[in-house]
Structure formats: C-alpha cells, structure tokens
Structure 1
Amino acid sequence: MKDKIVSAEAAAALIRDGDTITTSGFVGIGVPDLLLKAVAERFAETGAPRDLTLFFAAGQGDGKEKGLNRLGQDGLLKRVVGGHWGLIPKVGALAVSGRIEAYNLPQGVISQMYRDIAAGKPGTVSHVGLGTFVDPRLEGGRINDVTTEDLVELVQLGGREQLFYRGFPIHVALLRGTTADPFGNVSMEREALVIDNLAQAMAVKNSGGLVIVQVERLAARGGLNPRSVVIPGALVDAVVVADPEDHMQTYATAYSHLFAGQFRAPEGAAPKMALDARKIIARRAAFELPVNGVVNLGIGMPEGVAAVAGEEGLLDHVTLTAEPGVVGGQPASGLDFGAAINTDAIIAQNAQFDFYDGGGLDLAVLGMAEADAQGNVNVSRFGTRLAGAGGFINISQNARRVVFAGTFTAGGLDIALEGRRLRIPQEGRARKFLDAVQQITFSGKGAQAKRQPVLYVTERCVFELRPEGVVLTEVAPGVDMKRDILAHMGFAPIVGDVVEMDARIFADEPMELARDLLHLDLADRIALGDGGRHLFINFEKLRLRSLEEVAQIRARVEEVCAPLGRRVDVIANYDGARIDEDVEADFAAMVKALEDRFYGTVTRYSSSAFMRMKLGETFRRDAAPHVFETAAEAKAFLERR
C-alpha cells in the first residue's frame, strides 16, 4: 500500500490524449471542481490532454464557468456522451456547432451503464427511451450531423422491443468525496449525495484505468470506519485535497448540516413561496399527490410542489424523492437542487433509477417546455439551445402517473390575481402548446398505449391526455377560454366538460389540502339527511387513488348505516371526482357490497358527461348505474321511486 496523496496538477498529468473520462456530480453537488480546473489549465498551457471522450450522467455545472464548463475548449474534447446538458453551455455550444461528436442519452441509463461496464457486460438493455429522440428510429440520441456512430440499437428480447446502449471502456474517473486516508479509502459524510461514485470507480478500474478522487480532508491510516467508506482504496489511484472554495457542498451552499443529514430542520423552516404563476402551478399539481405514495419532483417549475406540500402539512404523508438518490424529506431548489433536508435515506443514483424504471413511482411532476397535439413533451432541445433530457425520460416513461407543469406561454408572461380570479395583463411571447414539438422527450403515443394517466398543468388551465387526444378539462376562474387559451395554441384541443380550477389555488391563505387528500372530512361527505330518509354521499372533487382510500369510504358508510337496521336511499355527488383506473374495479365491488347490505335505491349525478360515462362503465356490471346530470334530477328520481 502506498501513499496516494498527490497535487491537482500531478493528477491532471495522468490523463492522456484520447482518453475516455467520467466525472461525478449532480448540478453542483459532488463535482470535483479542483480536478476539472487542473485539467482545463493544463490544456490551456500545454495543449494536452486533447481529444478526450467525456462520459457523464447528471448535469454538472452552474450554467456559467464551473463544473464541466471548464472543459468547453476547442480541442480538449472530441466526443461527449451525457445525460443533461443545460448547465454546461460551453460544452453544449461545441456540440450544437458540430465541433465535437455529441450524444444525449437518458441519465438513468448512463448511471446504470457504469455498473454494466464494471461487470464486463457489452452494454445496457433497457426499455427507457423507446419512442423518444433516443430511439434509433428517430435520432438515436445524436445531437449533430458529425456524430455518425450508433450507440443505441433497437433489439427484440422476449418478444418485446428494447434498446441496447453499447458500452465502452472508461480510462479515467474524476470523483469526489469528503475524507480520505493515505491508502485512498474515501468516505462521503459531508456530501449531500453519494451519486454513482462506487459504480464509476469499479467501471474504470475494471477497464484498466485510473481513479482520481478529490476530498476536503485527510484521515490517518486506518482512521476511517469501514462502514463509512464509499469508495474502497483498492479502487483509488490518486487523492487530491481541495481548498474550501473548490469543494462547496453545492454551488449555492458552502456547507449545510441539514444537507449532510447531521440534523433535522424544524417543521416550517423552509420559506413560504410567493403567490405567483409558479406557485399556482405547484398548488394545482399538489392536488395530485398520492397519500403514502412515492413521488419524483423535477427541476425547475415542479420544485415548488415540495414547498407547497410543506406549507400544507403533507410531507409526513408522501415520500418525495429526487433522481440522484434522495428518499423522503423536502428537496431543495435552484443550484441546491439534488440536496434535501429531513431525508429518510440517501442511496446511489443507479439504484434510484432501478426503482424508477421498474414502476416504483406513484407520481412524477416534471417540467414542460413544449407540448403538442399528440401529447408529446419536449424539454431537451430548442433549435440551437441544448438542454438535454437528464432523468426526464426514465422518470416520465415509467411513473404510474405524470403531471407536466409549466406556464402556458413563455417570455414576458405577466399575471394578476384579483379576488381569487386570474387576469393576464401581458401574454408571453412564445407559445408552448404547438402542433408538433421540436424534439420528443416524452411520447404521448407511448403513454396512451399503456394507459398512463397524464396531466398538463399551467397557471390558467389543465389538459388531460385521453385515448381520443389532448383534452382541455379545467380553466382558471377569470380566464376566457377562447381569448386566453385557444387563441394561443398551435393546435385545437378537444374541449371536454370544462370545470373551474379550484378557487383555493388562487388565494394566499393555505388551501387545507391535507383535509382533502387524507379524507379527513368523510364525516361531512357521507351523512344522513332529510330526517334520516336519505344517505347523502358527496364525492365532489374527491380523488380516489388507493385501496386504502376505498376502505376508508366503506368504513364510513358502515359506521352510518349499520345502526339503522333498515335500508336507506342514496344520492351520490360525483361532480369533479376522479377514480384511478387501478382502483375502479375495487371501488365498484365495494359499492355493490354496500348496496347489497344497506342501500335501497341509489342515484348518482355529475355535471360532467365524461364522468357520467365513466360511472356508467364502472357500475354497469356490479351496481345499478342511475347517473344524472344534476342533484335535482337525482332526487326527483328517488321521489318517483
């Protein structure tokens, strides 16, 4: 065993012309800035190393000079294979102008490729990317015309289409940890994430390459608890100690005990959001939060959902996650994105994507830069502006439900709130709902094929992807549908039974959303009336997502009806209600069982023709589908009976 502590300059000198390098980091977390700076300075001074291939999963940069932006020099890079490009505009400019070969692959796939390369596999097989720009039948993930080699291949396995992402050796890893001993054992106790450090080190070591790790401090030989070691010294060739300015915990925070998980923040520690377009959108998206479910919140507009969940007291009732490995707690935003406070666990990024890809997410709330008539969404490419997909494809393609969140137009949009009504003094310059998106990052056709529920939430309206197409379902109070919505779209959506968005979204006081989502008001929703002659069931704007919620309703009806010793006629209000397909059959069976035990005549009503149709389908076999348009019609039917 030898002392592996070297200078940054000595470490940079280990990289040869033509090497393939990989780097750790997520936005500004875990980025080995000192090592990247040393490589960039060596190239500027000597012209070496040159013609490197850069292979990275998450975006690593501040959108200006830091992170991988340091490598954005002509001649230093020959090829880049990356997941998210939006934070590295200097490297992105090389790609868009065709000065380097460049690929944009799903972040989660790249994260998993590290493990497969480490295991000596020829590449990674995944369903992730089918139907998107990564699919070789579309663009194959290639960013420009000088990029000709196919890294993605369409294959058939077990009678199903899959994508094969070809692996390749990686010669150098530039990673980051907290503490190292002279043998190269590295811990990460002060880092906000562990990301893919272990898998990257293994991939490089088994490729015959070099692993270089930046840390902030040293321990004595044998001074690290082996259970704290994330990267074993057997995998590490060199360790570089960085000064604090090159080793910030995130690009916005030098160090936070909360991000490191050393302490928990008191409830309500996060600042309250101002009531603007971003919060309006986040509030409407929060209505979709599944109680006891697992949720991913994307970067940008969806970050506000975490703040709204905190304000509404919902963080204890939902598990929020972020793709680099955050489980539980409240994710941070901006250049702190990827970090979180009050977490339950921090796991490896590749393991998080395993969970996501297998369908573990109950809900994903993601950004929406462009959407089109087919339900496709683009967040990755806009002419010469290259954002990259990041984890968007993995997450959106595999979540059980998806909410895309974004303003209705972009560029100069101004809104005003007047008594819980929305007014638009100035429209945005750019349309976001187009006839066809510039690049398919999410496939509407793919979502329809697997009946994946999809919503598109804006500050003024909500659309839903249904088998017949994109349907306008909700409009904000105060908004004129023709003037403020249809006139600013590149396609004509299907106009369904449009209802007003919940007025509470547009008021500054808390929405009391916990009451709705936790069904704390079932005693008010299910009660006897008319002197005990009728049971009134008010499901207005109720969202049923789980078997637990179905059981809560059954228990409340039993509580009211069991002591009566007689049957009771029922009037049920389904205005604005939503019943997930996953629980439709169980809900219908539960209602049938209650009818057999307690009910006389049952009538249901909803002003929505779509909901009346759905109720007719749901109850067709198991219960009498007496469904009317108004409460008066439903009650009149009972009286006639």
Structure 2
Amino acid sequence: MRQMSAAEAALLLRDGDTLLIGGSGGGHAVPDAILAAIGDRFRTSGAPRDITAVHPVGLGDGKTRGAGHLAQEGLLKRAVSGTFVNSPAVARMAMDEKIEAYTLPQGSMSQLMREMAAGRPGLLTRIGLHSFVDPRLQGGRQSQRSKEDLVELTKFQGEEYLFYRPFNVDVALVRGSAADEDGNISMEHEAVTLEMLSIAQAARRSGGIVIAQVKTIVPRGTLHPKMVKVPGILVDALVVEPEQWQTFETQDSAAYSGHVRVALEDIPRLPAGPRRIVARRGACELFEGAICNLGSGISTGIANVAAEEGVLRRVCLTNEQGNIGGAPASGNEAGAARSPDAQIDQPYQFDFYDGGGLDLAFLSFAEFDAEGNVNVSRFGGRIVGPGGFVNISQGAKAVIFGGTLTANGAPKAVRQVEQVTFSGRFARERRQPVLYVTERAVFRLAEDGPELIEIAPGLDLEADVLGVMAFRPRVSPNLRQMDARIFADGAMGLADRLPPAAPRAALRRFAPAQAAE
C-alpha cells in the first residue's frame, strides 16, 4: 500500500477531473488535509483547473475549510452537493456565476453512490418531484451557467419518477480512523460512517483512484474485520494525518463515536426566546415511541426540550447521517449524536426515510407561502441547498416545520417562496399531515393552503399575526390559544401527558385475537 503526504496526493488530481469527496458537515469524516493540499497546490501552481467536485453532504466549517479549500476561481468548474451551507465561499461563487452549481437531495446523492458502484444506469426515485429539483422547475440548478441536466423526469409503470444521472469519477477521497498495512480502513472513532464504501466502489467502477486519509497506520491483521468500512482492495493510496480531529470543533468525543454512554439528560436547557417556544410547541407533537428526525436549525431544539421534559428516552431521535437514538448534536456539529444506539451507513438511513420509516419529521423553514410550499434552499441572496430536507419531508408520515413568523421585521410567510424545497400541493395529494409552528401561531396544511389553528396567548390576531404575513391564510373557526405552558419558565409536564403510540402494523399480528362473542 502506497503511503504519501497530502501534498503528494494533491498532485494526483488532473485538469478537468471529477473529484468525489466523502464526509459530512462540520468536519465529520472530512478528508480536510487532502482538500487543503489541493487548494494550496492551486494557489502556488495554478493547477489543477476546472475540477468538478461532487459530495453528497455539505463540507466545511462555515468559513474556509472543507469544500471551501476548493473555492478558487479556475480551480473549481462545477460543484454538486446536497448543500453549500458549510462552504459559503462556494455558494458565493455560484451566486456570482463563477461556477456551475447544483444542489440535489442529500439522500438521493447518497443512494446514487451505490448505483454508481454497481454500474447501474442511475437512481430512479420519486424524491424531489414537484420541488426545485424537478426539471419542470429548476432541475437542482443554482447558477445560470449550469446547463447540463443532472436530473430527468421519466415515467415508470404509469407513474412519474425522477432519474438522477451518475458521475464518472476520476479521484475519490475518503476518510477513516485507521488503516492497516494493506490499506483496510476502519472508522471506529468517527462520528459518522456515511457512504465511504460506496464512494470507493464507485471510483473503482469508473476506473478512478481512491485516496484515504487516516489518523494512524496499524500492523497488518490487527483491525477487526467487522470494523473495516473500506477494504484495502479498493484503496490506492494512504495519507496519514496524526492531528486529524473527529470534527472541526471536537478533537475526540467518545460519546460521538459510541465508545461511551453519557447522560442524555445533561443537554443544556434552551434559553428563553422564540427558539425555545417553537421547539416546545413542536415537542408537543411527540408521542410514545415516535421515530423522529431533527433537521438543522431551530428544530434541533426538540432534543433539548425532550431532555428537559424527561421524555428523550421515550422517543427515538435520528439524523440522516446514520445515527439512531441518543441525542443529535446541533450547530456546526449537526450530523453527530451523543451516545447513539446505532450508527448505520447513510444510504441505508435514507432508504428507511424514503420508505416512510419516520413517524415525525421536525424541520426548519426559511419561508412558507400561500400554497403551503416551504423554502430552505435559496433565499435572501443566499444559496443553501436542501441537504436531507427533501427526502425527510417527502418520506415522513407527518411533518412539523418550525421557524419564526418574521425575521428582522420581514415576513417569512410570503405570497410565493423563492424556491420550492417542499411542495404543499404534492403533500396534499398524498394526504400528508403538515404543521407550520411559529412563536406566535400554528398553522396546518389545509386543502387551500395553510390554515391558522392556534395563536399565542395575549396576541392580537390582526396586528400580531395576520398583519405580519404577506398572504392572508384561512382562519379556523375553531381557532384556539397555544398551550400557556409552552411560554412558562418551568417544565411543561410533557412526561405525564405523552400520548401513547398506536400499534405498528408489523406488531398487530402479535396482538391477542379478540374473543368471539
């Protein structure tokens, strides 16, 4: 197995190559040393040029790291990712029309890696229909110079589907915790495992090379075979980075890797304010045994509220990167989880999500409109991208969108969203229950758009709610006040009134038969 420096690895990238990169968000299994070396090489030599960077999850610390290393004019030709929120420099290049830019559903990109690995034509799925990913809208494009159709609309057995086209991979970057002398890669100290195996297999299928960044090299035969995520037969070169941190903010958390269990109830209590109100009202939708996803942003506060109310262990919180159970992290470390019960590869998590496995999805909104559409992907002069939002919102049995009703005095309930990340019409067609929870009011998705069903105590309907919206929703004839306990300082008593779960279909066969009368 050839071992080399990050600078030597950067020399393997040629002009016009497609670079496939593993990792997630704020440094979770991100091969940052190699990315930094690629950026340094271009600054000093002007090479390589016109790279296409593909990564299912956004990569970066919100400043310069991760995909930000590649954000140099001439180096980057095209960026395709689930989100650019972690790499604002890439987003700026897209806004300034300096690169071709696409943001596609994180789950669909993750699953596409498996299709590429197997040499199949691409990914056929209903995920993304009627959103900005649909070619009838924007096809996932985030810049005017993006001309190629990466997503196609097709019909199969009389139903509409989206077809995600594969990429030909020249170089793939993966990351692990350790490698043995044969190049077998383990990930036992990582916060996530993602689709590292599929990425390596996809590169091999394309005739590309696989470079792995690891923290240490161990003797041959010392890695437990079940801990190996990427076998050495797929790895062409190793870069050892002894100073490799678990994330961009955490050097090593045994709770993130699952090596130790911590008290989940130690999650900090949310401070008073709109975020706490929105999270507490959202948490009122929890029920015993509910399987949930917490999206980034304001909805991550659900975990804090569940811990404060003593119900965190009575529900199952998950995140799309593959953590099941425990307490999902927030902020720049979203994607990790403290003391999860299981860590599975990301494509399998999205299989579960797409298949309707989530009882509840708690997601944030940037804006929603009179049709019930939600936008989180492009707004206010920013390109963010959907991340896992499209898969999660489209696949969940019920969705609770959370956010404030205004931002800096401007309405977030708008006549028409700038970009459709969630289609209200498509949700109505599928009879999907949807709530829009704010600090002032709660709306539900009705047949003709959002309907106001709850208002915060003490507010004036016209002045404080309808007057700060850019459209006038239907007001329920049964409009009621939001529970006053949501706004109080102490606990809401959720533990004593958590609704029971309805029996799952798979368990009904074990229920005792009713005695004949």
| TM-score range normalised by the length of the shorter chain | over 0.9
- Distance in 2, matches of 1:494 and 1:444, equals 15
Q: Say which structure, 1 or 2, has more relative contact order (CA 8 Å, 6+ apart).
A: 2
* Deviation (angstroms), 1:490: 0.7
Instruction: Indicate the residue corresponding to 2:268 in structure 1.
Output: 271
Residue 26 (1) aligns with residue 6 (2): no
- The one-letter code sitting in structure 2 at the alignment partner of 1:48 is A
Which residue of structure 2 lines up, in the alignment, with residue 445 of structure 1?
425
Q: Cα distance, 1:48 vs. partner?
A: 1.0
Which whole-Å deviations, capped at 9, do the CAs of 1:328-366 have from their partners, x for residues lacking one?
Answer: 111011112111112110001111111101111101000
The C-alpha deviation readout for 1:476-511, integer Å capped at 9, x for no partner, is 111111111111111100000211101111111111
Corresponding position of 2:80: 81
Q: 2:286·2:499 contact (CA, 8 Å) conserved in 1?
A: no
Closer/same/farther in 2, CA of residues 406 and 383 from structure 1, 3 Å limit: closer
Report the CA distance between 1:274 and its aligned residue.
1.3
Task: Pick from 367, 370, 373 the counterpart of residue 376 of structure 1.
Answer: 373
User: Is the Cα contact below 8 Å between 1:181 and 1:220 reproduced in 2?
Assistant: yes
Q: Structure 2 CA distance, aligned partners of 1:375 and 1:139? A: 19
Paired residue secondary structure (2:497)? helix
What SS does the aligned partner of 1:162 have? Answer: strand
The aligned residue for residue 510 of structure 1 is 491
Instruction: Report what 2:38 is aligned to.
Output: 39
3-state SS of 2:113 partner: helix
* 8 A contact 2:266–2:307 mirrored in 1: no
- Residue in structure 1 matching 2:404, options 403, 407, 413: 407
Distance 2:344 2:332 in 1: 20
1:326 aligns with 2:323: yes
- Higher mean displacement: 289-298 or 153-162: 289-298
CA distance in 1, matches of 2:225, 2:457: 59
CA contact (8 A) 2:264 2:327 kept: no
Q: Give, in angstroms, the shift of residue 437 of structure 1.
A: 0.5
CA distance in 2, matches of 1:186, 1:547: 41
Q: CA deviation at 1:25?
A: 1.4
Counterpart in the other structure of 1:116: 115
After TM superposition, the structure 1 = structure 2 runs for residues 40-189 of structure 1, keeping only pairs within 5 Å, are 40-189=39-188
Instruction: Tell me the distance in 2 between the aligned counterparts of 1:448 and 1:238.
Output: 50
Please state whether the residue corresponding to 1:145 is helix, strand or coil: coil
Cα deviations by residue, 1:82-135 (Å, 9 ceiling, x for unpaired)? 111111111111112111111111111110111000110121111001000010
Tell me if the contact between 1:464 and 1:472 (Cα under 8 Å) persists in the aligned partners: yes
- After TM superposition, list the pairs within 5 Å mapping 1:305-316 onto structure 2: 305-316=302-313
Equivalent residues of 1:290, 1:363 under 8 A apart: no
In the aligned structure 2, how far is the partner of 1:430 from the partner of 1:254? 39
Distance (Å, rounded) in 2 between the aligned partners of 1:486 and 1:369: 18
**Amino acid across the alignment from 2:147:** T
What letter corresponds to residue 424 of structure 2 in structure 1? G
- Aligned position for 2:12: 14
- For residue 277 of structure 2, the aligned residue among 280, 303, 322 is 280
In 1, Cα distance between the equivalents of 2:14 and 2:357?
Answer: 41
Aligned residues of 1:474 and 1:500 also touching (Cα < 8 A):
yes
Among 517, 526, 546, which residue is 2:502 paired with?
A: 546
Provide the rounded CA distance (Å) in 1 between the counterparts of 2:380 and 2:484: 38
Aligned residue runs from structure 1 range 353-502, under 5 A: 353-411=350-408, 429-496=409-476, 497-502=478-483
Helix, strand or coil: the match of 1:142?
coil
SS of residue matched to 2:120: coil
Residue correspondences, number: 506
What is the DSSP-based 3-state SS (H/G/I as helix, E as strand, rest coil) of the residue aligned with 1:164?
A: strand
| Distance in structure 1 (CA, Å) of the matches to 2:320 and 2:225 | 26
Report if aligned partners of 2:216, 2:242 keep a CA contact under 8 Å in 1.
no
**Once the 2 structures are TM-superposed, how far is the Cα of residue 383 of structure 1 from its aligned partner?**
5.0
Determine if contact 2:400/2:436 at 8 Å carries over to the other structure: yes
In the alignment, which residue of structure 1 is the partner of 2:511? Answer: none
Q: Which whole-Å CA distance do the structure 2 matches of 1:479 and 1:248 have between them?
A: 48
Alpha-carbon deviation of 1:518?
Answer: 4.3
**1:173-322 alignment runs, 5 A limit:** 173-244=172-243, 247-322=244-319
CA distance in 1, matches of 2:24, 2:503: 37
Once the 2 structures are TM-superposed, how far is the Cα of residue 220 of structure 1 from its aligned partner?
0.9
Separation in 2 of the partners of 1:173 and 1:443?
34
Q: Is the 8 A contact 1:265 1:341 kept in 2?
A: yes
Kept in 1, the 8 Å contact 2:58–2:87? The answer is yes
Q: Do 1:250 and 1:335's aligned partners in 2 also have CA atoms closer than 8 Å?
A: no
Look up the equivalent residue of 1:503 and give its one-letter code: A
Is 2:339 the partner of 1:342? yes
Cα distance in structure 2, aligned partners of 1:4 and 1:290: 53
Render the CA deviation track for 1:359-406: whole Å, top value 9, x for unaligned: 111010001100000000000001531011111001101100000000
Whether contact under 8 Å (1:171, 1:210) holds in the other structure is yes
TM-score, length basis structure 2: 0.96
Whether the aligned pair in 1 keeps the contact of 2:366 and 2:379 (CA below 8 Å) is no
Indicate the larger mover: 477-486 or 247-256. Answer: 247-256
Secondary structure in structure 2 of the residue aligned to 1:474: strand
Superposed displacement of residue 547, structure 1? 4.1
Aligned mates of 2:264, 2:82 — CA distance in 1: 35
Which amino acid is 2:12 matched to?
L
- Determine the C-alpha separation between the residues in 1 that align with 2:182 and 2:223: 11
Distance in 2 of aligned mates of 1:217 and 1:355: 33
Letter in 2 for 1:372: D
Report what 1:4 is aligned to: 2
SS at match of 1:303: helix
- Ranges in structure 1 where 5+ consecutive residues have no aligned partner: 412-428, 520-544, 552-589, 598-641
- Whether contact under 8 Å (1:4, 1:183) holds in the other structure is no
1:131 and 1:267 map into 2 onto residues whose CA distance is 39
Per-residue CA deviation, residues 458-486 of structure 1 (Å, 9 max, x unaligned), is 01110000123210000011111111111
Distance 1:498 1:194, change over 3 A: same
Query: Given residue 158 of structure 2, which amino acid in structure 1 is its aligned partner?
Result: G
Question: What residue number does 2:510 align with?
Answer: none
Structure 2: stretches of 5+ with no match in the other structure: 508-513
Cα deviation for residue 267 of structure 1 reads 4.4
Write the mapping of 1:602-617 to structure 2, written as runs, cut at 5 A.
none
SS for the counterpart of 1:465 is: strand
Q: Is the CA contact (8 Å cut-off) linking 1:5 and 1:182 kept in structure 2?
A: no
**One-letter amino acid matched to 1:121:** R
Partner of 2:167, secondary structure, is coil
Aligned residues of 1:321 and 1:328 also touching (Cα < 8 A): yes
What secondary structure is seen at the aligned counterpart in 2 of 1:90?
helix
- Percent identity over the alignment is 51
- Cα distance in 2 for partners of 1:11, 1:19 equals 14
**Contact 1:4–1:182 (CA under 8 A) maintained in structure 2:** no
Residue 546 of structure 1 aligns with an amino acid whose one-letter code is: A
Which whole-Å CA distance do the structure 2 matches of 1:88 and 1:55 have between them?
Answer: 13
The CA distance in 1 between the partners of 2:297 and 2:226, in whole Å, is 35
Kindly name which structure, 1 or 2, has the bigger radius of gyration based on alpha carbons: 1
Distance 1:303 1:266 in 2: 18
